Amino acid sequence: MRRINPVLPSAIINNAIEIDFIFEGQQFKGFDGDTLASALSANDVKVFGYSYKYSRPRGIIAPYAEEPNALVSLEQGGLYTPNAKATQVELYQDLIASAPTLNPNSIEKIKPLFKAFHRFMAAGFYYKTFMRPQKLWMLYEKVLRSFAGISKAPVDFDSEHYDHMHHNCDVLVIGGGLAGLTAAIEIAKTEKSVILLDERPSLGGTTYDYPDEAVGSTNQLEYMNNIISQLDTYPNVEILSRTTAFAFHDENNVIANEMRQDHKPLSERNANLSRQRLHKIKAGHVLLATGASERPIAFDNNDLPGIMLSTAGLSLLNRFSVLAGEQVVIFTNNDSGHTAANYFAKYSQKVTLIDTRSNSPDVALNGNVRLINSSVIIKANGKNSVSSVTIGERDQKSNKNVLTETIDADLVLVAGGFNPVVHLDCHTGSNPIWDDNLVAFAPNLSKQKRSGTGALTGYIYATDVINNAKEQANNIINNSITATTAQKNFLNTDKFFNVESFGGKQFIDMQNDVTTSDIQLAIRENYKSIEHIKRYTALGFGTDQGKTSNVLGVAIAAQSQNLKMSEVGTTTFRPAYTPVTFGALAGQHINDLFDPERYTPMQPSHINNGAIFETVGQWMRPWYFPNNGDGLDGAVFNECLKTRESLGVIDASTLGKIEIHGPDSREFLNRVYTNSWTKLAVGSCRYGLMLDENGMIMDDGVTACLSDDHFIMTTTTGGAAKVYQWLENWLQTEWPELEVYLSSVTDHFSTTAVVGPNSRELMLSICSDIDFSKEAFPFMTWRAGTVCGVSARVMRISFSGELAYEINVQSNYGRFVWDSVLEKGNKWSIVQYGTESMHVLRAEKGYIIAGQDTDGSVSPIDADLSWVVSKSKQFSFLGERSLSRSDTSRVDRKQLVGILTEDPSEVLSEGAQILNSNTNSNMLGHVTSSYFSPTLNRSIAMGLVRDGLRRKGEKIIVATAKGKRSPSTIESYVFFDPDGLKMNGNESENVDG
Amino acid sequence: MHLEEEDFSYSGEALIARPNNPSSISDDEWGDYLFMRKNPKGRHVEQWQHSSGCRKFFVIERNTIDNTIYSSYTMIQASKEIKHETN
Ligand SMILES: [Zn+2]
């Protein structure tokens, strides 16, 4: 292989700018405009890797995105990119690339190991292996992974960043070749907004590869350059190059990925720009101009380096000025081989054109071309690359070939016909249709507001393409879409896909080493559907998704079963058209921006006070405060005991808060909660239980009556958004007659909860305008006043079983009040506590956590909360009717109970299974909450147990995953102060306020 | 101009009326209201919420095969204009 000098006028390289790069540790030179593949080819590198099953040398076979063999890894560390196709990698100064399967040392090392596996590795290897004892898979996997023929997965964090952009346009044109450009400019004249996407760095599609083709008095390259310069003058046209439309979703939503910096030297990459940008485009109309890609013809040893598609050879020659061989053999079944022969004959004295057809087209051939009709390549010969081909004459009837001669060759171009790039059209669920005229699967194009043009619909020659593109553009402008495909034979293609084997290996899918005989074996083993053949042989499973191999596979399946191509059909084309890095899909939604983190106003104080945080929903909440270097257990012990002995404080600002306004607020609460709100007095609070319509607990919390038509509801921290939406839904869709207004005020108020026997004393020291006497301010009421000089609502409610007050102030004052309480509380040795101690304190007292002790299958009766359910409300509250359904009213449902272990020091695992102690089996339920209680100096747990309410006092076994069995007893789940004496400040009072 | 789908949340089949007097209907009838949905392949009248916008619930008719949206209604329009077929 060599670079043609002077550089061909059609070439996009600039030989005035030399580029140094490293491939496999070796220094090379290329030119500006080269791809890694073209530069290496110019340096006579032919082998890009070894195939994964048979370890055979492999070279480039395709011009661009279809390439199955030449997979490379780029750069290192945070810039590492696996599995790039060398044919798509733009060369830049100091590029470092390696071929993952090329390292001769590693190949030599594992080759002998691998030989032993050959007999397993016929088609169906994966299926058969999985069906064998699974243990063996582990053994195979190790060997397979190292042979997979693809790059290692990245291990370092991606050091570049990505973003997303949304667009709306009237017309989206996908493909910037002659067809797409011609249509785009026609549409642009109407002032419709147009976006044109093209995956390559330079617009023009394959015009560079066939530069001589005439358009009127000029050639297509000049014609195309003229359009591009005109397009620049239209402000209603946006052109995105290096942008691959990889997914086409319903309603003309197209997702495309733009490579913004991958082509730049590392030193010139701008850290402020995204590396790649994902474009989400919603188009009024989509015009597909995605072209067609060439397919090979299978023959023995067709994988030898030096054998490539004719389009790959033409791309190297005309686009990059690289002559890929001197002794050229072209094997064709259609007219395009003749065109290729003429291009090569300009630079090579010896071009042999082997045509499967007996009649050749009306194409004048260059004198250097020797045409052999009705013939095939029976096999290729050579060791590390092709050195000759053996030719045979084809008997059209028997399909047998008679060996005729052997021809020296260092470049074999295969022109097996063209496959329209139907992928995007198929993403929305339509299947391509086999077209006997085109000898290819044609796009369906049956969806609304979509059409196709150019080679995608069977137009190949420039004048035909231009006419069709103009016609399709006018159809869009006039809103009169009619799908058309070329009626004449696509390049007079012969329906010829593979040569009868001469005993060697004929490769269909090069990346997965799938041969003709593998497909035949699959069919013999009764895997006849193309979808089964694909999974059995791994045909089309690679990073190239079988772009060069699928149609060949279908053809062989059709031949073997005497079916028509249309009867075999294709496998399903799914996004992505070409691989997309996860970074592009994630965009900016990573790290801190993955999900918002919410902080209460007290957060800076929590950090100063050394809190360890945990995530609750989106909130960051103090988990515990390890003051003296205590771990979790030590801190919780201290926090719980000191709170119960004297005084604790917790930041409860994260609880959801919803204001409910309007004359029908009480009626609304009656409908969404299980208990009655009719008589709740202004100044009082009540615990409410919210059920879904299945009668299952959804959320709970305390609601305060601020005035007759104004309430404030609290929800669980994690349930706030869901509850708010639930309430909105009922108001808007079912009860529009209720005059009720909701506003979410979670962030508007912050809550400092002071807890413990000395909380009243503390309140007296920071608030002088509220009467804190038991008579004036009883449990489950709230009072307005001034706390630490700040206007506040103080609620006497408790989530710990202690006397407690929750101070609600406008958020801006939250941290001030918190800090003041800590300071004033010193007198009573105040301790701040986090969510872990909160959980322990509430579990000691037997308060449930909706979402932990319940899971959407627990009714209030199951949770032993019947006391919250009113039986006398007029309106059938949400979920009420379901409580009397036969299954919900069953008495032997799983019910929430307390569990005490025989060994008081043993803390059960949450989620552990609960078994019948007589049988030591029979699963009865599981543990939902479990802690060590410092107050009771023993472990406590709650769990859902079948028929649990009737089993109190019964022995059970709690089983852990590691096989441990813990004898335990079922108890009431109120472990601490069941009569509520402490919470009420040593006076007897009904918990139900 | 189009708004992104991710600004909206799906909220199931539309116009499922809550029975007026749940306590007077049978378990089967209540079960129908709770669980029975059309789940068609094709045109489907369904409720959505503009959750990252004005928070309004509304009704659209959408094709479940290819996501074509034929029409949209406010809740009031929907209750008046779409005849609710009883199963
Ligand atoms: Zn809205």
Q: What share of chain B is helix, strand, coil (3-state, %, to 5)?
A: 25, 30, 45
Percentage with pLDDT > 70 across chain A: 93
CA dihedral A463, A467, A470, A472 (to 10 degrees): -120
Residues of A in contact with B22 (CB under 8 A): 876, 880-881
Extents of the domains making up chain A: 293-418+493-568, 656-744
- Compute CA distances A20 → A86, A92, A94, A263, B45, whole Å: 16, 8, 6, 14, 62
A885 touching B (Cβ < 8 Å): yes
pLDDT > 60? residue A679: yes
Residue type, A51: S
Residue-wise pLDDT tens digits, A598-633 = 999 999 999 999 999 999 999 999 999 997 778 999
Interface membership of B51 toward A (CB under 8 Å):
yes
pLDDT at A136: 55
**Which CATH number is correct for A656-744, 3.40.50.1370, 3.30.70.1400, 1.20.950.20, 3.40.50.2300?**
3.30.70.1400
Q: In this structure, are residues A672 and A666 in contact, taking their beta carbons and an 8 Å threshold?
A: no
Residue B35: give its domain's CATH number. 3.30.2270.10
Residue with tokens 């601020």: A706
Helix (H) or strand (E) holding A751: strand A749-755
Q: List residues, by chain if needed, whose CB lies under 5 Å from ion ligand 1.
A: B 50, 53-54
Q: Other C-beta atoms within 10 Å of A742: how many?
A: 18
Q: Peptide bond before A558: cis, by omega within 30 degrees of 0?
A: no
Does the predicted interface ipTM exceed a cut of 0.90? yes
> How far is the first Cα of chain B from the last one, in angstroms, to the nearest whole number?
37
Indicate whether A148 pLDDT > 60.
Answer: no
A934: left (phi over 0), alpha (psi -120 to 50) or beta: alpha
Record: contact B22-A280, CB cut-off 8 A? no
Give the model confidence (pLDDT) of A552-604 as tens digits.
Answer: 999 999 999 999 999 999 988 999 999 999 999 999 999 989 988 999 999 99
Per the CB < 8 A criterion, the answer to whether A288 and A456 are in contact is: yes
What gap in Å lies between CA A767 and CA A807, rounded to an integer?
11
Please list every residue in chain A whose beta carbon sits closer than 8 Å to the beta carbon of residue B66.
250-251, 428-429, 447
A408, exposed or middle or buried, with CB in 10 Å at 0-12, 13-18, 19+?
middle
Please tell me the class of the A293-418+493-568 domain. alpha beta
**What residues are paired with A243 via a beta bridge?**
A258
Q: Which domain holds residue B54?
A: 9-81
Mean pLDDT of chain B: 91
Contact of A524 with chain B, judged by CB distance below 8 Å, is answered with no
Contacts of A429 in chain B (CB under 8 A): 65-66
A841 and A814 in contact (C-beta within 8 Å)?
A: no
Task: Select the residue of A168, A694, A729 nearest B34 (Cβ to Cβ).
Answer: A694
Torsion from C-alpha of B69, B71, B76, B78, nearest 10 degrees: -80
On the question of pLDDT at B3 being above 90, the answer is no
Closest chain B residue to A875, measured at CA? B21
**Vertex A919, ends A916 and A924: CA angle to 5°?**
25
Residue B41 in any domain: the answer is yes
Statement: residue A918 has pLDDT above 90: no
* A206 pLDDT more than 80: yes
| Angle at A415 (CA atoms; ends A529, A446), nearest 5 degrees | 50
Q: Is the pLDDT of residue A109 over 50?
A: no
Does residue A875 carry a pLDDT above 80? yes
Residues 8-47 (B) with a CB less than 8 A from some CB of A: 9, 11, 17-18, 21-23, 25, 27, 30-31, 34, 47
Which pLDDT belongs to residue A250?
92
Q: A448 to chain B: which residues are within 8 Å by CB?
A: 68
Confidence (pLDDT) at A485: 66
Q: Residues of B with CB below 8 A from A882's CB? A: 30, 34
> Any chain A CB within 8 A of the CB of B67?
yes
- Return the amino acid letter for A644: R
Q: How confident is the model at residue A115 (pLDDT cuts 50, 70, 90)?
A: very low
Report, as an integer, the average pLDDT of A843-859: 96
Span A363-377, mean pLDDT?
95
Residue B2, in any domain of the structure: no
Residue range A924-953: average pLDDT?
A: 96
Structure-token pair, residue B23? 């306590």
**Mean pLDDT lowest among A5-14, A610-619, A958-967:** A958-967
Q: According to the model, what pLDDT value does residue A627 have?
A: 78
pLDDT digits over B23-71, tens only?
Answer: 999 999 999 999 999 999 999 999 999 999 999 999 999 999 989 999 9
Region A849-866: mean pLDDT is: 96
pTM given for the model: 0.88
pLDDT at A153: 86
- At residue A123 the predicted structure's pLDDT band, cuts being 50, 70 and 90, is low
The answer as to whether B32 is a domain residue is yes
The residue that leads in pLDDT, A152 or A777, is: A777
Once rounded to an integer, what is the mean pLDDT over residues B74-87? 75
* CB-CB neighbors (< 8 A) of B68 in chain A: 250-251, 448
Residue A519 confidence (pLDDT) above 60: yes
pLDDT bin (cut points 50, 70, 90) of residue A365 is very high
A132 confidence band (pLDDT: 50, 70, 90): low
Element (H, E) at A638: helix A632-645
**CA terminus-to-terminus distance, chain A:** 91
Are A732 and B75 in contact (CB < 8 Å)? Answer: yes
How many domains in chain B? 1
| pLDDT tens-place string over residues A162-192 | 999 999 999 999 999 999 999 999 999 998 9
The residue of chain B nearest to residue A884, with distances taken between CA atoms, is B27
